[in-house]
Structure 1
Amino acid sequence: MQNINKIKFACAPIAWTNDDIPELGKENTFEQCISEIALAGYSGTEIGNKYPKDPQVLKRYLEIRNLEVASAWLSTFLTTKPFEETKEAFIQHRDFLHAMGAKVIVVAEQGHSIQGKLDVPLFQEKPTFTEAEWGLLINGLEELGKLAQEKGMEIVYHHHMGTGVQTTEEIGCLMENTSSEKVSLLFDTGHLVLSGENPLDIFQKYKSRIKHIHFKDVRASVAQEMKEQGDSFLAGVLKGAFTVPGDGMIDFRPIMEAIIESGYDGWIVVEAEQDPAKANPFEYALKGRKYLETLIPRAELV
């Protein structure tokens, strides 16, 4: 249990302004977002679309609020575009995160992805990769892993609804065919449960390669409605499929116990893409942090 105080807790800005649906929370400013993240008791943040792109400018805003940067998302197109295009974007992204002191780089393959398509049914039209595309993805990720290592960093792959790496089998394929030295995994409770996977099983199987964690909960009634009505991923977000830990169907206690027992010492990011007009971001961020306190009593959230 010694490592409890090595785990750091961050909050994602997507609850204030949604990156995939920018009109959600367009009225919420960057400064409001980071101020409320700090006020809710978190010590870190991921990067949203309103955050300054200049590291020195961003540092000034974050340091006075005692916030660090945990990581930030990068969309890759290794299966559909020339590698050089992703490489160029990756290096720019890597250098920005390195300047901000982050240790991991979140990547997610968006070739053939339907996650951003409002009118494409999520469960009925999920994309899959061909054998050739799997080869492009695996080789490309390993090359990105090498580039990350140049800065003493690691890539963490984000399995995601509506993409070619979503299910238990697909995550297994990725992990089994990539080098643990070059490719690590982001563990996201919400995406696993919405997909129908068992998050505890996934964590236990790949815990040695999990270097970044997203905690989000799922509203069971909305998830069922999404399947029955053929909703897209974004339609599900608008309906409220996701919420903060402790407000949905997931039992986080055994998951947190497994995380602590594993010796994990990275970030746990509370993330719940919701409509801020329906779910006040500060209130939900605070609700999520207070729930986390019940999972690790006597330990200080840092």
Structure 2
Amino acid sequence: MIRFGTNPIAWANDDDPSLGADIPTARILHEAGELIGFDGIENGHRWPEDPEELRVLLAGHGLAFVSGWHSMNLLTQSVEDEIRAIQPHLEKLAHNGCKVAIVCETSNSVQGLAQPLSSRPVLDAAGMRDFGAKVEGVAAHCAAHGIDLVYHHHMGTVVQSPEDIDAFMAATGPHTKLLFDAGHCWFGGGDPVAVLTRHVDRVRHVHAKNVRPDVKARVEGGGLSFMDGVRAGVFTVPGDQDGVVDFEPLLAVLARHGYAGWIVIEAEQDPAIRNPLLYQTLGLHTLRRLAAKTGLTPSQ
């Protein structure tokens, strides 16, 4: 059974809070829950830190708490230090019945910096093996608390390209799982269907992000930063004619392998230019139609 979620970053951006700063929190929740009809929503900087306050707030709009991002710093600290750092996050997730913890290594990333994506960090083979072993140590701790660690491959980080994803997955396991992001996969030079097919058995969370190829080309050709690309509209939702990612074969792969979990539309855009209510509605309707067509069974 699958559930469809969204991320508040479509309304109010976490990395650039000026995007959507004028949008009231109540509007985000009302549109995501009552108007569009998502099953749940991921974490955002507007939500309360207290686990019970968070549960009550979202439940008031018919939304479950899906999960939330945790920035890892394993390249600069020990596994023990990282476990201490992630523990409050795990407790919040457990209180809200979450099944996955979304993590990404950010200690040396350029995703939030005014630097070109080409300057992103790269690990050699030995470095990736060492990093993977440390991630696996944290993942084992999460698993002991009944939560799967799902690693988010992401532009501007040490796990960006399809080769990075393959090397990372080879360096981890069995506890480390994958958050497959269709948009970051395509932006990073991968064939989303091929990458998902290779690793689907370890996929526990899915981000349905689309990419505008013309904006991607401007980012790469102009030496722009990741956030320059976001502000310019490099990402969009499933079903947008401007997007290049075909979601039908991706959902078909998930259906064949019996995927059960969240499919989340995480597609950050400038809400002053692209209305979140309209775009998120398009994205959810597209995913529901394709899920029915490919045999993915949504929860009732």
Q: Same fold (TM over 0.5)?
A: yes
Q: CA deviation at 1:86?
A: 2.2
2:247 is aligned with 1:252: yes
- Indicate conservation of the 8 Å contact 1:126/1:162, yes or no: yes
Partner of 1:206: 199
Partner of 1:37: 32
Partner of 1:184: 177
Amino acid at match of 1:175: M
Q: Distance in 2 between matches of 1:82 and 1:35?
A: 41
Amino acid at match of 2:251: M
Corresponding residue pairs, total: 294
Q: Deviations over 1:81-117 (max 9, x none)?
A: 3444422221111111111110000010112100001
Partner of 2:44: 48
1:61 to 57, 61, 64: 57
Q: Deviations over 1:112-132 (max 9, x none)?
A: 1000012x111x212102455
Partner of 1:116: 112
Q: Deviations over 1:39-61 (max 9, x none)?
A: 21110110101101111111112
1:13 to 8, 12, 15: 8
Query: 1:214-233 maps to which residues of 2 (within 5 A)?
Result: 214-233=207-226
Q: CA separation of 1:80/1:35 partners in 2, compared to 1, >3 Å: closer, same or farther?
A: same
- Indicate conservation of the 8 Å contact 2:128/2:171, yes or no: no
Q: Deviations over 1:201-229 (max 9, x none)?
A: 11111111000000010011101111111
Amino acid at match of 1:277: A
Fraction of identical pairs, as percent: 38
Q: CA separation of 1:13/1:245 partners in 2, compared to 1, >3 Å: closer, same or farther?
A: same
Amino acid at match of 1:125: S
2:164 to 170, 177, 196: 170
Q: Distance in 2 between matches of 1:90 and 1:29?
A: 29
Partner of 2:95: 99
Partner of 1:75: 71
Amino acid at match of 1:115: Q
1:129 to 105, 123, 130: 123
Q: Distance in 2 between matches of 1:61 and 1:153?
A: 22
2:277 is aligned with 1:268: no
1:142 to 136, 145, 149: 136
- Indicate conservation of the 8 Å contact 1:293/1:301, yes or no: no
Q: Distance in 1 between matches of 2:291 and 2:173?
A: 33
Q: Distance in 1 between matches of 2:131 and 2:276?
A: 35
- Indicate conservation of the 8 Å contact 1:79/1:133, yes or no: no
* Cα-Cα RMSD: 1.6
Q: Distance in 2 between matches of 1:224 and 1:301?
A: 38
Q: Which has the higher contact order (CA 8 A, sep 6+)?
A: 1
Amino acid at match of 1:191: H
Q: Distance in 2 between matches of 1:301 and 1:294?
A: 14
Greater alpha carbon shift after TM alignment, 219-228 vs 126-135: 126-135
Q: Distance in 2 between matches of 1:133 and 1:83?
A: 15
Partner of 1:3: none
- Indicate conservation of the 8 Å contact 1:215/1:269, yes or no: yes
Q: Distance in 1 between matches of 2:43 and 2:283?
A: 19
Q: CA separation of 1:27/1:84 partners in 2, compared to 1, >3 Å: closer, same or farther?
A: farther
Partner of 2:17: 22
Which structure 2 segments of 5+ residues have no match? none
Provide the TM-score with structure 2 as the length reference. 0.94
2:192 is aligned with 1:196: no
Which structure 1 segments of 5+ residues have no match? 1-5
Q: Distance in 2 between matches of 1:87 and 1:42?
A: 32
- Indicate conservation of the 8 Å contact 2:151/2:176, yes or no: yes
Q: CA separation of 1:300/1:265 partners in 2, compared to 1, >3 Å: closer, same or farther?
A: closer
Partner of 1:286: 281
Q: Distance in 1 between matches of 2:96 and 2:256?
A: 29
- Indicate conservation of the 8 Å contact 1:76/1:111, yes or no: yes
| Moved beyond 6 Å, runs of 4+ | none
Amino acid at match of 2:183: G
Provide the TM-score with structure 1 as the length reference. 0.93
